[in-house]
Homo-oligomer: A and B are copies of this chain.
Amino acid sequence: MSPVIPGVKRATPDGPAGALGGVKVLDFSHALAGPYCTMILADLGADVLKVEHPGGGDRTRRFTDGDEDFSAYFGSVNRGKKSVVIDLKNPSGLELAKRLAAEADVLVHNLGPGVFERLGMDYETLAATNPRLIFAQVTGFGADGPWADRTGVDPVIQALSGSMSITGEPDGGPVRVGYSIVDLSGGVWMAMDVLAALNERHVSGKGQFLDVSLLEGMMTLMENAVVRYTYNGIIPERQGSSHPYTKLTAAYETADGWMVFSISARNWKKCCEIWGRDDWLNDPVLHEKPEDNADILRPEVRKILKEHTRAYWQEHMGGAGILCTPINTVAEAVTLEPLIERGYMTTTTDANGADLTVAGSPLRMSRTPGRVRAAAPILGEHNRSQLKSWLGMDDAEFARYEAEGVFEQKPRETRGFW
Interface residues of A (CB under 8 A from B): 1-3, 5, 19-20, 36, 40, 44, 63, 65-66, 70, 72-73, 75-77, 123, 141-148, 151, 153-156, 158-169, 172-181, 184-185, 188-189, 191-193, 195-200, 202, 204, 206, 208-213, 215-217, 219-236, 238-243, 245-246, 249-251, 253, 258-260, 262, 266, 323, 325-334, 336-339, 341-342, 344, 356-368, 370, 414
Docked-complex contact A19 and B168, CB < 8 angstroms: no
Docked-complex contact A175 and B180, CB < 8 angstroms: no
Known: A199-B198, A330-B236. A227 touches B192 (CB 8 A): no
Docked-complex contact B179 and A222, CB < 8 angstroms: yes
> Known contacts A162-B330, A169-B172, A176-B241; can you find 14 more A-B pairs with CB under 8 A?
A19-B199, A76-B224, A77-B223, A123-B366, A143-B364, A159-B251, A168-B178, A173-B258, A178-B236, A178-B238, A219-B359, A229-B334, A236-B329, A236-B330
Docked-complex contact A221 and B169, CB < 8 angstroms: no
Cα(A240)–Cα(B228), bound, Å: 25
Known: A163-B178, A362-B216. A155 touches B249 (CB 8 A): yes
Cα(A1)–Cα(B229), bound, Å: 9
Docked-complex contact B159 and A215, CB < 8 angstroms: no
Known: A164-B260, A241-B173. A338 touches B178 (CB 8 A): no
Query: What number of copies of this chain does the assembly contain?
Result: 2
Residues on the B chain within 8 Å of A222, using CB: 178-179, 330, 333, 359
Docked-complex contact B181 and A177, CB < 8 angstroms: yes
Cross-chain pairs A/B with CB under 8 angstroms, 7 sampled: A20-B200, A156-B260, A176-B250, A192-B192, A196-B365, A219-B359, A230-B334
A314 to chain B, nearest CB (A): 12
Cα(A77)–Cα(B339), bound, Å: 29
Docked-complex contact B223 and A76, CB < 8 angstroms: yes
Cα(A65)–Cα(B225), bound, Å: 12
Cα(A29)–Cα(B211), bound, Å: 30
Residue of chain B at shortest CB distance from A66: B232
Which one of B217, B230, B362 lies within 8 Å of A3 (CB-CB)?
Answer: B230
Residue of chain B at shortest CB distance from A233: B3
Cα(A217)–Cα(B391), bound, Å: 36
Cα(A234)–Cα(B232), bound, Å: 45
Residues on the B chain within 8 Å of A339, using CB: 215-216, 219
Which one of B163, B234, B342, B367 lies within 8 Å of A145 (CB-CB)?
Answer: B342
Residue of chain B at shortest CB distance from A344: B216
Docked-complex contact A199 and B208, CB < 8 angstroms: no
Cα(A19)–Cα(B330), bound, Å: 38
Residues on the B chain within 8 Å of A370, using CB: 193, 196
Residue among A19, A184, A360 facing the most chain B CB atoms (10 A cut-off): A19
Docked-complex contact B232 and A1, CB < 8 angstroms: yes
A143 to chain B, nearest CB (A): 8
Residue of chain B at shortest CB distance from A332: B162
Known: A66-B232, A168-B175, A327-B165. A192 touches B40 (CB 8 A): yes
A412 to chain B, nearest CB (A): 15
Cα(A55)–Cα(B160), bound, Å: 41
Residues on the B chain within 8 Å of A169, using CB: 168-169, 172-173, 175
Docked-complex contact A220 and B362, CB < 8 angstroms: yes
Known: A19-B197, A72-B231, A146-B341. A330 touches B364 (CB 8 A): no
Known: A176-B241, A181-B177, A337-B146. A197 touches B161 (CB 8 A): no
Closest 4 CB pairs of A and B: A166-B178, A162-B333, A195-B195, A72-B231
Docked-complex contact A3 and B229, CB < 8 angstroms: yes
Docked-complex contact B178 and A239, CB < 8 angstroms: yes
A178 to chain B, nearest CB (A): 3
Docked-complex contact A235 and B331, CB < 8 angstroms: yes
Docked-complex contact B331 and A193, CB < 8 angstroms: no
